[in-house]
Structure 1
């Protein structure tokens, strides 16, 4: 083995060990926050009681609080956080731009418009509104992708088109809220703020399987995603079928975003922040899809605990993540402006 090969293998081993360590610590953090969400509340139960209830034992008071209220809320926080984090990291890596997050380029807004329209105008049940929001998110994503193709795919064009479509969709949401019956508006606003309130076990099956299937596909496509990050010409030179790979990645990420949004609403900035944080923690050279998903879960769980128990008034999780994400967006825009557009 030459000295050069030794250094290459040593560098790869260090990056892999760092990736494994960070992923493990993030998983432990998610588990700790999950236990905290099951423990905290108006009545606090011991860990042994929580375990007994989750194992199926009926305990008066505790069974309803833990199994019906707290456990679905905790599970929704984990699954939605992972969905937003993995999807956001996928778009940011594929388009090589930290601004290329689904909640920045309009995909989340597409789901939001459909849900608000069905809630306020058609006054249908939440199941129908959820299905409509999923289909609308997919439709908007396809529209953005088709408009950005042209002679060849352009990530910058996709971001600009997405930002424009997002502005238009946000205007539609504002119009629907202004024209709606004032008694229906609070329900729509609660959904738009991004919240884990009122989540039930029956709402979780679709989100769970979506994260398991499409999140798993994104994890398996991590190597191809890193090749795409090198640029179109380099990826083609390395033998990657860029168009097919990009379509598959986009579809997986959009399904994650659309289904998660249909359950919890558009939780602000989780998709935007998870990828950069995971990249900073896990380092470069290895796909950060899984760490980004765990980072998203940590953000949602932690923000929900803060929103529920840190203030006199209880705030939806999306309010807290919005407060955390807005300063980073401003910082990122200033940094890109100083560097002439390079993040």
Structure 2
């Protein structure tokens, strides 16, 4: 592993870059963009690549421009942005908990968002933006409960994971109760939403997830050094002047907010937040959270999964089905590898 790093300074800000990490991240972004162009080009109304570019520039015919910009572009953009948000969220939590299972999927945040959406959908009769708002609130409330339950002279990583698993289990049981007691139409709608999908995305969803990334990335960059220190343990962080508990809470809130908005926009898409940081870390071979590489990997995974669900498989499947299948294989491989090394994940 190369230890070479370049430091970029802008005013009072400094950013350390590793050439391999930059190269891997750039290749992942280019791969995600290439698949995005393929998704924009293919469908019931095929559009040549040149026409796709002209449509994005606003110089294509009205019919082609409508198909590309209005029907396909929101879906492609949401897939990339949601994937990036989930990748970042998973990277932060895995770094804070120092555990490859410390992702929003496993510590109950995604389930909490699903519970909030189901409450609005099945109990309050809401739809659309109200369900998204319910998912956002549900995720934030679930994190608050987990954090308070895990807090004992600080919220230690192991307690966060264990409390998250316990709360997640109870919420899954509650979600099942809601669906069982719902009317048939409502239950079917709930099942579709729980799968996770970008099929009906609009520019409003693009604006929501894009706005969340724009707002939350600056404080994440600000606390990037603290995240690197906390990944080494509280004692090392404190020795370097980091206020461990405050920094952990701020970083956790950033991660929760990203996971909450991503779930509100696309539903509870499984395993991207779990797999993206780990796969990015293995490719970059760099220590730490690898936020940029995790974001690029998340965007690539979700964009590729959407393409697989639409064009590779015989059925037009929601992206959540594909990520769940691929994520299950990845989790099995991860657990087998950790057991062979004699490590415990929790």
TM-score tier, shorter chain, comes to over 0.9
Cα distance, 1:293 vs. partner? 0.6
Partner of 1:186: 188
Matched, 1:307 2:309: yes
Partner of 2:58: 56
User: Would you say the 8 A contact 1:19–1:286 is kept in 2?
Assistant: no
The aligned runs of 1:1-343 (5 Å cut-off) are: 11-13=3-5, 16-57=18-59, 59-285=61-287, 287-338=289-340, 339-341=342-344
| Bigger mean CA offset, 284-293 vs 273-282 | 284-293
Cα distance, 1:324 vs. partner? 0.8
| Bigger mean CA offset, 198-207 vs 98-107 | 198-207
Cα distance, 1:62–1:185 mapped onto 2, change above 3 Å: farther
TM-score, normalisation: structure 1: 0.93
Q: Secondary structure of 1:112's match?
A: helix
State the alpha-carbon separation in 1 of the partners of residues 321 and 217 from structure 2.
26
Cα distance, 1:335 vs. partner? 4.1
Cα distance, 1:300–1:342 mapped onto 2, change above 3 Å: closer
State the alpha-carbon separation in 1 of the partners of residues 122 and 78 from structure 2.
24
Cα distance, 1:286 vs. partner? 5.2
Deviations 1:257-280 (A, max 9, x none): 001100100111000000101101
User: Would you say the 8 A contact 2:90–2:273 is kept in 1?
Assistant: yes
State the alpha-carbon separation in 2 of the partners of residues 107 and 49 from structure 1.
41
State the alpha-carbon separation in 2 of the partners of residues 110 and 52 from structure 1.
42
Structure 1 gap ranges (5+): 1-7
Cα distance, 1:292–1:178 mapped onto 2, change above 3 Å: same
Cα distance, 1:220 vs. partner? 4.0
TM-score, normalisation: structure 2: 0.92
Deviations 1:231-281 (A, max 9, x none): 011110111011111111011111100011001001110000001011011
| Bigger mean CA offset, 256-265 vs 15-24 | 15-24
Q: Secondary structure of 1:12's match?
A: coil
Cα distance, 1:191 vs. partner? 1.2
Task: Give the count of matched residue pairs.
Answer: 335
Cα distance, 1:39–1:216 mapped onto 2, change above 3 Å: farther
State the alpha-carbon separation in 1 of the partners of residues 345 and 137 from structure 2.
34
State the alpha-carbon separation in 2 of the partners of residues 204 and 60 from structure 1.
22
Structure 2 gap ranges (5+): 7-16
Cα distance, 1:342 vs. partner? 5.3
| Bigger mean CA offset, 253-262 vs 219-228 | 219-228
State the alpha-carbon separation in 2 of the partners of residues 26 and 337 from structure 1.
29
Deviations 1:187-218 (A, max 9, x none): 22121101011111122211111012213432
User: Would you say the 8 A contact 1:22–1:281 is kept in 2?
Assistant: yes
State the alpha-carbon separation in 1 of the partners of residues 77 and 221 from structure 2.
20
